[in-house]
Every structure is written in structure tokens, then in C-alpha cells.
């Protein structure tokens, strides 16, 4: 629930803490700094999910051959940063969240910003705060988001639960910002858009013909044991058969695994990405194959230049790294 003020306000953390100290003297400020909350250990458990192969009878290896028809001209990525501003006397966290998203377009080998969005908000569980405390938060000139608005149980929750709720809300805000930029791209441009992450969470992204989602992490792994054996054995430049990914809460997409770099001597997931594109249930298998090969060739072409010095260079395209550098510079 958005309570007050515009998202365009821009306050440094220390400025915000001084303002909060004036508005709410009883607040316990977090002045010793610390890493962003996103760097806390992930709590999502690893998941194995079902994969319905739609290109072949069973998941198998396809060698991607030939040059791409055209390179990706644009890349979409978003970032978020959450910092703890203060705690109330009851331990409810007040979190400053900054999210940004950008589409960078490449022409003549040089990247330029096609569209950029940024917002800065305060996140706090109103249900766990005194009215005066909430009023103080809303008086600081930033949009204040009540992280307990959709969960009455949070009124008596563990402070860490409030923090997780804030992070999830910030993540959601980041997704929405990315979707807004992607929606604009799809409305105005016909060229393919390389999206960092999956498409399933957004109807707009999942149904657009221009978007190609590339997932670098594999907390959710699709396929049974036999399928996983195929996935792990992929060599550089090989992909799996296309399979459909569907779940009740998300938009169905077509997906496949693609090995970007040889994993020799490394983790089986090293250099492995999963690609998501619009699901076309009625498309013949040959068309599916052709599309998957064409998109895979484009993604493989993005291996150069490498995304060094980013540690995730084995799965990250340089265009996405460029977006991240831009977002860091403007955060």
C-alpha cells in the first residue's frame, strides 16, 4: 500500500536517518552500517520441478550450429538495494529500498540507455508499529510501504520475518519496474530484448514475442533424474529439447537449458543457463526447434566479450553486466 510522497525523492541513508531521528526520537538508528539485506543468506530452498518436453519425446541434446540471424540489440536488467534505517522499540525494521531498471541499447558496438527507471521507498510493518511511529515514517518525504498490509499475522511476527517481507516487497517493486520498461520496449520496438531472469512472473514479458529471458541461477531445476543427466552432460554450444514450464500462479513459457562454456573440472551447473520464451502450444515441433536454435545461437554469440570481472561471467552476458554497472553508477 502506497501511503505518501513521490518516488522521485532522493535521500542519502544518513540524511534519512537524521530526519527520522528528528521525527521519531525513540527509534534505534542503524548507524554502524552493514551489507545490503540482499546479501543475507538465501532462504529459498532448492526445488526440483517437472518439465513437459514439447520438442521431442524425451529430453535430449541438440547441437546449436550456425551463426545467429541478428545479435541482441537491447538488454534489460534491474537491481535492488535494501538498507536497514532503524528499528522501533518493538524491533520492527524500517528499511530503505532502492530499485532500478534499465534497457541499454547497443548500436555500433556502443551501449546507450534506451530507458531507465529508479525509485526509492521506505518499507515498514505498520501492524507492528505504534501509530506515532508509522506517522513519523510517512512524514520523511519518501513513499512509505506497509509490508504487513496483506498479512495480518505479521503484527506479532519475528523481526526477521518483517525484514524478509520488506525484501520481498522490494523485489516485487523491482520486478514491476522492469516490467514497465519491457512493456514500453515491446510496444515500440520489434527487436529482441535480452532479459536477465525469467519471464514467468509477468504476463507482459511472458507473452511478448521480443523477450528472451535468460536465467543464471538454478534454485529450481526442471526434469526428472534422466533429464538431469542430460542437462548436466551438455557440452558448450549444446541445448536440451524445449519443454513447457507451467504452474498455477505463473504464466506458462517454453524453456530449455543451454551450456555456454565448457564446465570441465567444475560444478555441473557452471556455464549453464535456462532460456525462457513465449509458449506457443500449437507450434509444430520443427518450428519450435528452429526458434530454439536461432535464439540459442544469439545467446551463444553473447559469450564475447566476457562479463569479467563479474564472478558470474560464465552465465552472464556482457550486455547485462553493462546494465548492472550503469545501475550501480546511478543508484
Partner 1 sequence: MTAALVLGRVVATERKPNTPHEFSFWTALDSPVGIGTIVRVEGPDPVNGVIPRVYGVVTEGFSYTDLQTPLHDVLGHDGRPSAESLSATRRTEIRLYTAAVLRHLPEEPLQPVPMGEVYLADVDDVAVALRMDAYLRAGANTGIPVGIYRAGGIEAPIYLDADFLVGPEAAHLNITGVSGLATKTSAIEWLLASTFAHFPLQKGSVAAVCFNVKGPDLCFLDQPGELDEADRALYQAMGVPAAPFANVQYFAPYTAKGFTLNTLRSNEALSQNVWPLTWGLREVMQYAEVLLNKEDVDAKADAFIDFIRERVLDREFTDDGFAKTHRVQSFADLEDWFRDLLRTVEQQNRGEHWRTHHVATIRKVRNRLSNISTRCAGLVTDEGTVSDLPFGAFDDRAVYVVDVAGLEEDAQDLVFARVVTKLREHLERRDLGVNHVMVFVDELNKYAPADGADTYVRKMLLDIAERGRYLGLVLFSAQQFRSQVHRRVVGNAGTSLYGRMDGDELATPGYAVLSPATRTKLATLEKGQLMVRHPHFTQPIFVRFPRPAVMRGRDGAERFPQAQEMTLDAAVARALRRLDPSITVGWVQEVVGPHDDADVLRARDVTLRTRPDDVKAFFAAQFRRIVPAEQPRVRPPRGLRVPRGANPYGDDEPPEEPPF
CB of 293 to partner 1, least distance (A): 15
d(C-alpha 318, C-alpha 313), whole Å:
8
CB of 319 to partner 1, least distance (A): 5
| Phi/psi at 194 (5° precision) | -85, 115
Q: Residue 175: CB partners within 8 Å, gap ≥ 6?
A: 78, 201, 202
317 contacts partner 1 (rule: CB under 8 A): yes
CA angle, residues 232, 257, 251, in degrees to nearest 5: 135
CB of 312 to partner 1, least distance (A): 14
DSSP 278-297: E--TTS-HHHHHHHHHHHHH
Task: Pick the stretch among 199-207, 219-227, 272-280, 306-314 that binds partner 1 (CB under 8 A).
Answer: 306-314
**Cβ burial, residue 35 (10 Å; 0-12/13-18/19+):** exposed
CA angle, residues 270, 274, 278, in degrees to nearest 5: 170
- The single residue among 302, 316, 324, 327 that binds partner 1, judged by CB under 8 A, is 302
Site for partner 1 in 58-77 (CB under 8 A): 67-68, 71-73, 75
Task: Pick the stretch among 90-98, 204-212, 271-279, 305-313 that binds partner 1 (CB under 8 A).
Answer: 305-313
CB of 300 to partner 1, least distance (A): 9
Residue in the block written with cell 557440452: 235
311 contacts partner 1 (rule: CB under 8 A): no
Closest among 230, 222, 192, 181 to 317, alpha carbons compared: 192
CA angle, residues 287, 219, 192, in degrees to nearest 5: 35
**Closest CB to partner 1 among residues 91, 305:** 305
Q: Residue 110: CB partners within 8 Å, gap ≥ 6?
A: none
Task: Pick the stretch among 25-33, 174-182, 209-217, 318-326 that binds partner 1 (CB under 8 A).
Answer: 318-326
- What is the contact mask toward partner 1 in residues 101 to 130, using x (rule: CB under 8 A)? -----xx-xxx-------------------
- The single residue among 77, 83, 276, 322 that binds partner 1, judged by CB under 8 A, is 322
Q: How far is CA 193 from CA 43, 98, 181, in A?
A: 30, 24, 11
d(C-alpha 246, C-alpha 170), whole Å:
25
CB of 290 to partner 1, least distance (A): 18
- What is the contact mask toward partner 1 in residues 144 to 173, using x (rule: CB under 8 A)? ------------------------------
CB of 116 to partner 1, least distance (A): 16
Give residues in contact with partner 1 (CB under 8 A).
67-68, 71-73, 75, 106-107, 109-111, 301-306, 308-309, 313, 317-319, 322, 325
Amino acid at each position: 500500500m502506497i501511503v505518501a510522497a513521490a518516488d522521485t525523492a532522493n535521500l542519502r541513508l544518513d540524511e534519512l536517518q537524521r530526519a527520522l531521528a528528528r521525527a521519531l526520537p525513540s527509534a534505534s538508528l542503524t548507524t554502524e552500517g552493514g551489507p545490503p539485506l540482499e546479501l543475507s543468506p538465501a532462504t529459498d530452498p532448492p526445488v526440483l520441478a517437472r518439465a513437459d518436453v514439447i520438442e521431442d519425446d524425451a529430453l535430449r541434446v541438440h547441437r546449436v550450429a550456425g551463426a545467429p540471424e541478428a545479435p541482441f540489440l537491447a538488454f534489460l536488467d534491474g537491481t535492488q538495494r535494501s538498507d536497514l534505517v532503524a528499528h522501533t522499540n518493538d524491533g520492527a525494521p524500517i528499511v530503505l529500498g532502492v530499485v532500478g531498471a534499465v534497457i541499454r541499447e547497443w548500436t555500433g558496438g556502443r551501449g546507450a540507455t534506451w530507458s531507465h527507471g529508479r525509485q526509492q521507498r521506505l518499507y515498514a510493518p505498520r501492524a507492528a508499529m505504534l501509530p506515532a511511529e508509522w506517522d513519523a515514517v510517512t512524514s520523511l518525504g519518501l513513499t512509505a510501504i506497509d509490508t504487513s498490509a496483506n498479512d495480518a499475522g505479521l503484527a506479532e511476527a519475528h523481526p526477521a520475518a518483517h525484514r524478509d517481507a520488506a525484501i520481498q516487497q522490494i523485489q516485487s517493486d523491482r520486478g514491476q519496474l522492469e516490467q514497465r520498461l519491457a512493456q514500453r520496449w515491446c510496444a515500440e520496438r520489434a527487436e529482441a530484448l535480452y532479459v536477465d531472469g525469467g519471464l514467468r512472473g509477468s504476463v507482459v514479458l511472458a507473452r511478448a514475442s521480443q523477450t528472451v529471458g535468460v536465467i543464471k541461477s538454478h534454485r529450481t531445476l526442471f526434469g526428472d533424474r534422466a533429464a538431469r543427466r542430460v542437462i548436466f552432460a551438455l557440452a558448450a554450444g549444446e541445448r536440451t529439447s524445449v519443454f513447457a514450464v507451467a504452474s498455477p500462479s505463473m504464466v506458462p513459457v517454453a524453456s530449455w537449458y543451454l551450456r555456454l562454456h565448457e564446465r570441465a573440472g567444475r560444478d555441473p551447473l557452471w556455464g549453464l543457463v535456462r532460456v525462457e520464451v513465449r509458449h506457443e502450444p500449437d507450434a509444430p515441433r520443427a518450428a519450435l526447434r528452429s526458434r530454439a536454435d536461432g535464439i540459442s545461437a544469439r545467446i551463444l554469440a553473447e559469450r564475447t566479450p566476457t562479463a569479467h570481472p563479474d564472478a558470474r561471467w560464465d552465465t552472464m552476458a556482457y550486455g547485462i553486466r553493462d546494465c548492472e554497472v550503469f545501475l550501480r553508477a546511478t543508484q
